[in-house]
Chain A
Amino acid sequence: DTVLTQSPALAVSPGERVTISCRASESVSTGMHWYQQKPGQQPKLLIYGASNLESGVPARFSGSGSGTDFTLTIDPVEADDTATYFCQQSWNDPTFGGGTKLELK
Protein backbone atom coordinates (compact mmCIF):
# COMPACT_ATOMS: atom_id res chain seq x y z
CA ASP A 1 0.00 0.00 0.00
CA THR A 2 1.06 3.58 -0.63
CA VAL A 3 1.17 5.25 2.76
CA LEU A 4 0.26 8.93 2.96
CA THR A 5 1.56 10.91 5.94
CA GLN A 6 -0.03 14.14 7.16
CA SER A 7 0.61 16.28 10.21
CA PRO A 8 -2.20 15.66 12.73
CA ALA A 9 -3.18 19.24 13.46
CA LEU A 10 -2.58 22.91 12.74
CA ALA A 11 -3.83 26.12 14.31
CA VAL A 12 -3.89 29.40 12.42
CA SER A 13 -5.52 32.81 12.69
CA PRO A 14 -8.15 34.00 10.21
CA GLY A 15 -6.60 35.87 7.32
CA GLU A 16 -3.36 33.93 7.45
CA ARG A 17 -1.97 31.57 4.86
CA VAL A 18 -1.79 27.89 5.78
CA THR A 19 -0.10 24.99 4.06
CA ILE A 20 -1.08 21.39 4.76
CA SER A 21 1.38 18.77 3.65
CA CYS A 22 1.04 15.18 2.52
CA ARG A 23 3.98 12.88 1.87
CA ALA A 24 3.63 9.61 -0.04
CA SER A 25 5.75 6.56 0.66
CA GLU A 26 6.35 6.19 -3.08
CA SER A 27 5.79 8.31 -6.14
CA VAL A 28 2.15 8.86 -7.09
CA SER A 29 2.94 11.26 -9.95
CA THR A 30 0.10 13.81 -9.83
CA GLY A 31 -2.49 11.30 -8.69
CA MET A 32 -3.19 13.19 -5.48
CA HIS A 33 -6.48 14.67 -4.33
CA TRP A 34 -7.61 16.72 -1.35
CA TYR A 35 -10.84 16.64 0.63
CA GLN A 36 -12.36 18.76 3.36
CA GLN A 37 -14.49 17.13 6.03
CA LYS A 38 -16.43 19.09 8.62
CA PRO A 39 -17.77 17.37 11.75
CA GLY A 40 -20.79 15.21 11.03
CA GLN A 41 -20.51 15.69 7.27
CA GLN A 42 -19.23 13.71 4.35
CA PRO A 43 -15.92 14.65 2.72
CA LYS A 44 -15.93 17.26 -0.03
CA LEU A 45 -13.50 17.22 -2.95
CA LEU A 46 -11.37 20.37 -3.11
CA ILE A 47 -8.45 19.57 -5.40
CA TYR A 48 -7.95 16.75 -7.90
CA GLY A 49 -4.90 15.76 -9.89
CA ALA A 50 -2.64 17.54 -7.40
CA SER A 51 -3.44 21.07 -8.55
CA ASN A 52 -6.86 21.26 -10.20
CA LEU A 53 -9.53 23.19 -8.34
CA GLU A 54 -12.86 21.37 -8.16
CA SER A 55 -15.79 23.33 -9.55
CA GLY A 56 -17.43 25.54 -6.96
CA VAL A 57 -14.48 25.51 -4.56
CA PRO A 58 -13.19 28.98 -3.63
CA ALA A 59 -9.95 30.07 -5.27
CA ARG A 60 -8.49 30.49 -1.78
CA PHE A 61 -7.73 26.79 -2.00
CA SER A 62 -4.86 25.57 -4.15
CA GLY A 63 -2.78 22.44 -4.48
CA SER A 64 0.73 21.71 -5.63
CA GLY A 65 3.28 18.95 -5.81
CA SER A 66 4.17 15.81 -7.69
CA GLY A 67 5.94 12.57 -6.95
CA THR A 68 5.95 12.15 -3.18
CA ASP A 69 5.42 15.64 -1.72
CA PHE A 70 2.18 17.56 -1.95
CA THR A 71 0.72 20.68 -0.42
CA LEU A 72 -2.75 22.10 0.05
CA THR A 73 -2.70 25.87 0.59
CA ILE A 74 -5.51 28.01 1.93
CA ASP A 75 -4.93 31.73 1.53
CA PRO A 76 -6.46 33.51 3.25
CA VAL A 77 -7.95 31.20 5.86
CA GLU A 78 -11.52 31.92 6.94
CA ALA A 79 -13.39 30.79 10.03
CA ASP A 80 -15.50 28.41 7.94
CA ASP A 81 -12.36 26.48 6.95
CA THR A 82 -12.25 24.76 10.33
CA ALA A 83 -12.28 21.11 9.30
CA THR A 84 -10.16 18.04 8.78
CA TYR A 85 -8.32 17.83 5.47
CA PHE A 86 -7.48 14.49 3.89
CA CYS A 87 -5.16 13.70 1.02
CA GLN A 88 -5.84 10.66 -1.15
CA GLN A 89 -3.77 9.08 -3.90
CA SER A 90 -5.05 7.20 -6.92
CA TRP A 91 -1.80 6.27 -8.65
CA ASN A 92 -1.96 2.85 -7.01
CA ASP A 93 -4.90 1.28 -5.22
CA PRO A 94 -6.42 4.33 -3.50
CA THR A 95 -5.24 5.21 -0.03
CA PHE A 96 -5.91 8.16 2.25
CA GLY A 97 -3.80 10.15 4.63
CA GLY A 98 -4.68 10.26 8.30
CA GLY A 99 -6.05 13.79 8.01
CA THR A 100 -4.94 17.18 9.29
CA LYS A 101 -7.30 18.92 11.68
CA LEU A 102 -7.27 22.64 11.05
CA GLU A 103 -8.29 24.86 13.93
CA LEU A 104 -8.62 28.60 13.95
CA LYS A 105 -7.18 30.67 16.77
Chain B
Amino acid sequence: EVQLVESGGGLVQPGASLKLSCVASGFTFSDYWMSWVRQTPGKTMEWIGDIKYDGSYTNYAPSLKNRFTISRDNAKSTLYLQMSNVRSEDTATYYCTRGYGSYDYWGQGVMVTVSS
Protein backbone atom coordinates (compact mmCIF):
# COMPACT_ATOMS: atom_id res chain seq x y z
CA GLU B 1 0.00 0.00 0.00
CA VAL B 2 1.33 3.39 -1.01
CA GLN B 3 1.71 5.75 1.94
CA LEU B 4 2.99 9.30 2.17
CA VAL B 5 3.37 10.68 5.68
CA GLU B 6 4.22 14.33 6.19
CA SER B 7 5.66 15.85 9.34
CA GLY B 8 7.33 18.99 10.59
CA GLY B 9 4.43 21.42 10.57
CA GLY B 10 3.21 23.62 13.37
CA LEU B 11 3.09 27.22 14.52
CA VAL B 12 5.96 29.36 13.26
CA GLN B 13 6.69 33.06 13.50
CA PRO B 14 6.89 35.31 10.44
CA GLY B 15 10.40 35.40 9.01
CA ALA B 16 11.36 32.02 10.42
CA SER B 17 12.35 28.85 8.59
CA LEU B 18 10.72 25.44 8.64
CA LYS B 19 11.49 22.09 7.04
CA LEU B 20 8.77 19.63 6.19
CA SER B 21 9.42 15.95 5.59
CA CYS B 22 7.45 13.28 3.78
CA VAL B 23 8.29 9.62 4.26
CA ALA B 24 7.14 7.37 1.44
CA SER B 25 6.45 3.66 1.56
CA GLY B 26 4.78 0.99 -0.52
CA PHE B 27 6.50 1.87 -3.79
CA THR B 28 9.98 2.43 -5.20
CA PHE B 29 10.46 6.05 -4.23
CA SER B 30 13.46 6.59 -6.52
CA ASP B 31 11.32 5.77 -9.59
CA TYR B 32 8.94 8.70 -9.19
CA TRP B 33 8.82 12.43 -9.52
CA MET B 34 7.43 13.96 -6.34
CA SER B 35 5.67 17.26 -5.71
CA TRP B 36 4.43 19.53 -2.95
CA VAL B 37 1.00 21.13 -3.09
CA ARG B 38 -0.58 23.35 -0.45
CA GLN B 39 -4.15 24.22 0.41
CA THR B 40 -5.06 27.44 2.19
CA PRO B 41 -7.67 27.64 4.94
CA GLY B 42 -10.02 28.99 2.26
CA LYS B 43 -9.43 25.72 0.32
CA THR B 44 -7.43 27.27 -2.53
CA MET B 45 -4.96 24.74 -3.91
CA GLU B 46 -1.49 25.85 -5.00
CA TRP B 47 1.30 23.84 -6.61
CA ILE B 48 4.62 24.57 -4.90
CA GLY B 49 7.04 22.59 -7.03
CA ASP B 50 8.35 19.21 -8.00
CA ILE B 51 11.54 17.18 -8.11
CA LYS B 52 12.76 14.59 -10.56
CA TYR B 53 13.07 10.99 -9.40
CA ASP B 54 16.87 11.23 -9.05
CA GLY B 55 16.84 14.70 -7.53
CA SER B 56 18.69 16.20 -10.48
CA TYR B 57 15.98 18.69 -11.43
CA THR B 58 13.53 20.84 -9.57
CA ASN B 59 10.83 23.22 -10.72
CA TYR B 60 8.99 25.77 -8.60
CA ALA B 61 6.03 28.08 -8.73
CA PRO B 62 7.62 31.42 -9.65
CA SER B 63 6.10 33.18 -6.65
CA LEU B 64 7.75 30.73 -4.24
CA LYS B 65 11.02 29.96 -5.98
CA ASN B 66 13.16 32.29 -3.89
CA ARG B 67 11.95 31.04 -0.51
CA PHE B 68 11.12 27.34 -0.90
CA THR B 69 13.48 24.47 -1.71
CA ILE B 70 12.52 20.91 -2.52
CA SER B 71 14.96 18.05 -2.01
CA ARG B 72 14.88 14.31 -1.55
CA ASP B 73 16.87 11.48 -0.03
CA ASN B 74 16.14 8.36 -2.03
CA ALA B 75 18.04 6.17 0.44
CA LYS B 76 15.56 7.23 3.11
CA SER B 77 12.54 7.42 0.77
CA THR B 78 11.99 10.93 2.05
CA LEU B 79 10.95 14.15 0.38
CA TYR B 80 11.65 17.53 1.93
CA LEU B 81 10.37 21.08 1.68
CA GLN B 82 12.57 23.78 3.15
CA MET B 83 10.62 26.97 3.76
CA SER B 84 12.41 30.20 4.60
CA ASN B 85 11.29 33.70 5.52
CA VAL B 86 7.75 32.44 5.98
CA ARG B 87 4.82 34.85 5.76
CA SER B 88 1.25 34.78 7.00
CA GLU B 89 0.09 33.84 3.50
CA ASP B 90 2.10 30.62 3.79
CA THR B 91 -0.44 29.39 6.35
CA ALA B 92 -1.84 26.25 4.76
CA THR B 93 -1.99 22.49 4.78
CA TYR B 94 1.00 21.11 2.90
CA TYR B 95 0.62 17.91 0.92
CA CYS B 96 3.31 15.62 -0.38
CA THR B 97 2.19 14.06 -3.66
CA ARG B 98 3.47 11.44 -6.03
CA GLY B 99 3.71 12.22 -9.68
CA TYR B 100 4.52 14.77 -12.34
CA GLY B 101 1.57 16.39 -14.05
CA SER B 102 -1.13 14.54 -12.22
CA TYR B 103 -0.81 13.35 -8.64
CA ASP B 104 -2.02 9.83 -7.98
CA TYR B 105 -1.22 9.66 -4.26
CA TRP B 106 -1.38 12.35 -1.60
CA GLY B 107 -0.27 12.38 1.99
CA GLN B 108 -2.71 13.28 4.73
CA GLY B 109 -1.21 16.76 4.85
CA VAL B 110 0.58 18.76 7.54
CA MET B 111 -0.63 22.10 8.82
CA VAL B 112 1.65 25.11 8.92
CA THR B 113 0.45 28.23 10.70
CA VAL B 114 2.48 31.42 10.40
CA SER B 115 1.65 33.83 13.18
CA SER B 116 3.33 35.93 15.83
A residues bordering B, Cβ < 8 Å? 31, 33, 35, 41-45, 48-49, 54, 84, 86, 88, 90, 93-96, 98-99
Contacts of A43 in B (CB 8 A): 45, 95, 103, 106
Contacts of B35 in A (CB 8 A): 94
Q: What range describes how many residues of B lie at the interface?
A: 20 to 34
CB <8 Å contact, A42 and B47: no
Q: Which of B47, B105, B108 contacts A94 (CB 8 A)?
A: B47
A45-B104 contact in complex given A88-B45, A93-B47, C-beta closer than 8 Å? yes
CB <8 Å contact, A49 and B95: no
CB <8 Å contact, A99 and B43: yes
Contacts of B59 in A (CB 8 A): 93
Q: Which of A31, A95, A98, A99 contacts B101 (CB 8 A)?
A: A31
CB <8 Å contact, B44 and A98: yes
Q: How far is the CA of A95 from the CA of B103 in the complex (A)?
A: 12
18 A–B contacts, CB within 8 A, in A order? A33-B101, A33-B102, A33-B103, A35-B103, A42-B107, A42-B108, A43-B103, A43-B106, A44-B106, A45-B104, A49-B102, A88-B102, A88-B103, A90-B102, A94-B35, A96-B46, A98-B44, A99-B45
- Render B80-116 as a binary contact track against A, CB cut-off 8 A, 1 for contact: 0000000000000001000011111111110000000
Contacts of A86 in B (CB 8 A): 45
Sort A-B residue pairs by CB-CB distance and give the 8 closest, nearest first.
Answer: A96-B45, A90-B101, A94-B47, A42-B106, A48-B102, A33-B102, A45-B104, A43-B106
Closest to A94 in B: B47
B62 at the interface (CB under 8 A from A): yes
Q: B105 → chain A, closest Cβ, in Å? A: 8
B16 at the interface (CB under 8 A from A): no
Q: B101 → chain A, closest Cβ, in Å? A: 4
Contacts of A45 in B (CB 8 A): 102-105
